Amino acid sequence: MSDLDAAVVRRSLRALILTPAALAPLVAAPAFAAPPEAWPDAEATSALDYLLVLLVIPLGLALVIALLASVPSMVRGEKYTPGQAWRNENEWFGGPKDGLEAADQTDVKAVEAGEADRGGASARW
Q: CB-wise, 41 or 89, nearer to other proteins? A: 89
Binding mask 64-103 for other proteins (x = CB under 8 A): ------------xxxxxxx--xx-xxxxxxxxxxxxx-xx
Asked if 86 and 80 count as a contact pair (C-beta separation under 8 A), the reply is yes
Q: CB-wise, 36 or 94, nearer to other proteins? A: 94
DSSP state of 107: -
Q: CB-wise, 24 or 75, nearer to other proteins? A: 75
Positive or negative CA dihedral for 66, 83, 90, 110? Answer: positive
CA dist., res. 101 & res. 50, Å (int): 66
In the list 3, 16, 37, 125, the residue contacting other proteins (rule: CB under 8 A) is: 125
Shortest separation between residue 74's beta carbon and other proteins, angstroms: 12
Q: In whole angstroms, how far apart are CA 88 and each of 6, 59, 77, 81?
A: 73, 35, 14, 13
Which residues would be at the binding site for other proteins (CB under 8 A)? 76-82, 85-86, 88-100, 102-103, 106, 110-111, 113-125
